[in-house]
């Protein structure tokens, strides 16, 4: 996988196969980027389970916060990492161990060694991207903000 340039098809394939996302580094503060992403994805029908040892036991946007990925008592489709690139390594390994179907690292987060391990285990990996931005770009919403989505289509876009 070329992690400098993902095709739209690849990003769609990742987002289309996940419903439950564990968000590692989710913040309870409403003005933090992770909160924005969680709220947006919830609105699109994703279930987001926040992971943050400093907020464990609290609730973010109606969801209980867990201290560690391993503590989540239900299956996870994807792990979304809001931590630094170094910390992303062991988190990706936990994702593999838990049987997640995909690993996503946020903008500014990139760990090629961890990505190679996840890919070897059959998990697609996206790095240095935001699922909120990519979901909204692929579904036409990002264009509402003047962004170059790269989507060229003569088909009517489905409302999201």
Partner 1 sequence: MSDSPKPAGSGFGFETRAVHAGASPDPATGARTTPIYQTTAYVFDDADHAASLFNLQSYGYIYSRLTNPTVSVLEERVASLEGGRGATACASGHAAQMLAFFAFMEPGDEFVASRKLYGGSITQFGRSFKKFGWNVIFVDPDDPENFRTALTPKCKAIFVESLANPGGVVTDLEAIAKIAHAAGVPLIVDNTLASPYLCRPIEWGADIVIHSTTKFLSGHGNSMGGVVVDSGKFDWSQNDKFKSLSEPEPAYHGLKFHETFGDLAFTVAGHALGLRDLGAAMAPLNAFLTITGIETLALRMERHVRNAQTVAEFLAAHPAVSWVNYAGLAASPYHALAKKYLPKGAGSVFTFGVEGGYESGIKIVEHCELFSHLANLGDTRSLILHPASTTHRQLTEAQQIAAGAGPDVIRLSIGVESVADIIADLDQALAHAMKSGA
Binding residues for partner 1, rule: CB under 8 A, are 3-6, 30-31, 33, 35-36, 39-40, 43, 107-108, 110, 128-130, 133, 136-137, 140-159
Cβ contact 24:91 at 8 Å: yes
Which residue lies nearer to partner 1 by CB, 5 or 57? 5
Contacts with 76 (C-beta within 8 Å, 6 or more apart), sequence order: 20, 21, 22, 49, 69, 95, 98, 99, 100
Tell the smallest beta-carbon distance from residue 2 to partner 1 (Å): 10
Which residue lies nearer to partner 1 by CB, 71 or 112? 112
Cβ contact 56:32 at 8 Å: no
Which residue lies nearer to partner 1 by CB, 16 or 156? 156
d(CA 52, CA 143): 32
Cβ contact 2:59 at 8 Å: no
Which residue lies nearer to partner 1 by CB, 121 or 133? 133
Tell the smallest beta-carbon distance from residue 111 to partner 1 (Å): 13
Tell the smallest beta-carbon distance from residue 69 to partner 1 (Å): 24
């Amino acid at each position: 996988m070329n992690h400098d340039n993902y095709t739209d098809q690849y990003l769609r394939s990742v987002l289309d196969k996940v419903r439950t996302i564990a968000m590692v580094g989710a913040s309870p503060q409403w003005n933090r980027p992770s909160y924005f992403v969680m709220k947006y994805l919830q609105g699109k029908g994703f279930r987001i389970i926040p992971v943050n040892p400093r907020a464990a036991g609290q609730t973010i946007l109606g969801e209980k916060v867990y201290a560690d990925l391993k503590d989540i008592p239900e299956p996870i489709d994807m792990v979304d990492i809001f931590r630094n690139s170094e910390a992303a390594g062991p988190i990706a390994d936990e994702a593999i161990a838990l049987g997640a179907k995909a690993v996503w690292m946020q903008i500014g987060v990139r760990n090629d060694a961890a990505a190679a391990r996840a890919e070897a285990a059959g998990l697609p990996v996206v790095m240095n991207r935001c699922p909120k931005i990519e979901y909204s770009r692929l579904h036409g919403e990002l264009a509402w903000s003047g962004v170059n989505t790269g989507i060229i289509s003569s088909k009517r876009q489905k409302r999201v």
